[in-house]
């Protein structure tokens, strides 16, 4: 027990000690009203008493500073012994947990941080977010996107297929691309076309049953975009992606398109940008070519519009889809996609 030779300070001490024991963040005691009021009142003391009163208040403050230092030292010693790979211990004494949190606060995952930025760029262009499903069916994954039955392109996606059928006889599966949302979004929003356009983006987690290496994950993130209206042109598609990529990488990149094939767009393209790392000169990121294929895109196939109940003779539009992980890797020079799902704290802390 500490003793103070001034009654006011002594009662403040007893009050602060109680408060200290209850605080999660012990350092808050130094900013408590009781203590700051005492410190402020030093100057109002009569001359004869001021020096002694001031010394006692400062001794009170130092007492709590010492207590905080002791607690911090104990926590650091404890942290050194903690096996962070051990399962979460829900029985850990509650009063000890906040100290741990003070030293190792969580943060938003880098994919989510970047996704916020990506969404805000598209929001400014008038695109609204729709949510993705993480369990879908083969109708939305393939049939609604104009994949012919038994077409070999269906095999390109290495789907995780469930044995169950839904009540309409469709196979359930973990979606391998966010395009599986196109039919739903078009159908749900088709009445918008009476007065305006459909402008939606769909970020989501997708799954592929493939071998994992530095460039491939079984679980990753994509962003789908759909724009449908009247007299939409390829020029609209290209300028939308150009604006987005220039904004996201915060530099003026060069672009070109190259022909590709997706059953749900016609014509289909790979959107190619100059390497943001070497500005087109050639480096490891772009395999010395100076160019990076970054987004698959095209004009939405009339069959896809018609299947969703949109008259393809009156309306048309474009769609695109690309990996969010890949964009983030390009932006920060991350060489291994597996870091994102690894739970490695040293990696995650760099994005705090
Ligand atoms: Zn490069």
Distance 287 CA to ligand 1 centre (A): 7
Neighbouring-strand partners of residue 317: 228
Q: Is residue 83's pLDDT more than 70? A: no
Residue 208's φ and ψ, nearest 5 degrees, are: -140, 135
Distance 267 CA to ligand 1 centre (A): 28
Distance 253 CA to ligand 1 centre (A): 12
Residue 271, SS3? strand
Distance 317 CA to ligand 1 centre (A): 32
What band does 279 get if pLDDT is binned at 50, 70 and 90?
confident
Q: How many CB atoms lie within 10 A of CB 311?
A: 11
Q: Could you report the per-residue pLDDT of 103-124, keeping only the tens digit for each?
A: 566 788 999 999 999 999 999 9
CATH for 110-351, among 3.40.50.300, 3.30.930.10, 3.10.129.10, 3.40.50.720? Answer: 3.30.930.10
Distance 326 CA to ligand 1 centre (A): 14
To the nearest 10 degrees (0 to 180), the angle between helices 110-124 and 234-249 is 130
Residue 276, SS3? coil
Q: Is residue 97's pLDDT more than 60? A: no
Cβ partners under 8 Å of residue 293, min gap 6: 258, 270, 271, 272
Distance 292 CA to ligand 1 centre (A): 8
Global pTM value: 0.70
- pLDDT at position 82 is 62
CA–CA distance, 165 with 167 (Å, rounded to integer): 7
Cβ partners under 8 Å of residue 143, min gap 6: 149
Distance 331 CA to ligand 1 centre (A): 12
- pLDDT at position 346 is 82
Q: For residues 208 and 157, is the Cβ–Cβ distance under 8 A?
A: yes
């Amino acid at each position: 027990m500490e003793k103070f030779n001034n009654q006011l300070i002594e009662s403040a001490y007893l009050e602060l000690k109680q408060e200290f024991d209850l605080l999660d963040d012990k350092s808050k005691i130094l900013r408590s009203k009781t203590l700051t009021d005492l410190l402020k009142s030093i100057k109002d003391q009569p001359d004869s008493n001021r020096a002694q009163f001031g010394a006692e208040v400062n001794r009170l403050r130092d007492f709590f500073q010492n207590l905080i230092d002791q607690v911090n030292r104990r926590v650091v010693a404890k942290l050194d012994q903690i096996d962070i790979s051990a399962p979460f211990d829900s029985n850990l004494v509650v009063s000890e947990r906040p100290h741990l949190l003070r030293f190792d606060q969580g943060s938003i995952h880098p994919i989510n941080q970047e996704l916020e930025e990506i969404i805000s760029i598209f929001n400014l262009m008038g695109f609204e977010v729709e949510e993705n499903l993480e369990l879908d069916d083969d109708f939305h994954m393939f049939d609604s996107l104009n994949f012919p039955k038994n077409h070999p392109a269906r095999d390109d996606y290495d789907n995780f297929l469930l044995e169950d059928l839904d009540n309409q006889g469709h196979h359930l599966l973990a979606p391998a691309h966010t395009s599986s949302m196109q039919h739903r979004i078009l159908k749900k929003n088709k009445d918008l076309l009476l007065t305006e356009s459909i402008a939606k983006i769909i970020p989501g987690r997708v799954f592929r049953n493939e071998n994992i290496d530095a460039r491939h994950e079984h679980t990753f993130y994509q962003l789908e975009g759909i724009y449908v209206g009247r007299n939409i042109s390829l020029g609209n598609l290209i300028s939308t992606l150009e604006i987005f990529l220039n904004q996201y990488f915060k530099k003026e990149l060069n672009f070109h398109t190259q022909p590709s094939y997706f059953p749900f767009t016609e014509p289909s393209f790979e959107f190619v940008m100059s390497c943001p790392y070497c500005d087109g000169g050639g480096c490891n990121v772009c395999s010395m070519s100076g160019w990076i294929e970054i987004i698959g895109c095209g004009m939405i196939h009339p069959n896809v519009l018609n299947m969703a109940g949109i008259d393809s003779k009156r309306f048309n539009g474009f769609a695109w889809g690309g990996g969010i992980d890949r964009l983030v890797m390009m932006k920060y020079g991350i060489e291994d996609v597996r870091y994102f799902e690894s739970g490695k704290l040293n990696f995650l802390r760099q994005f705090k």
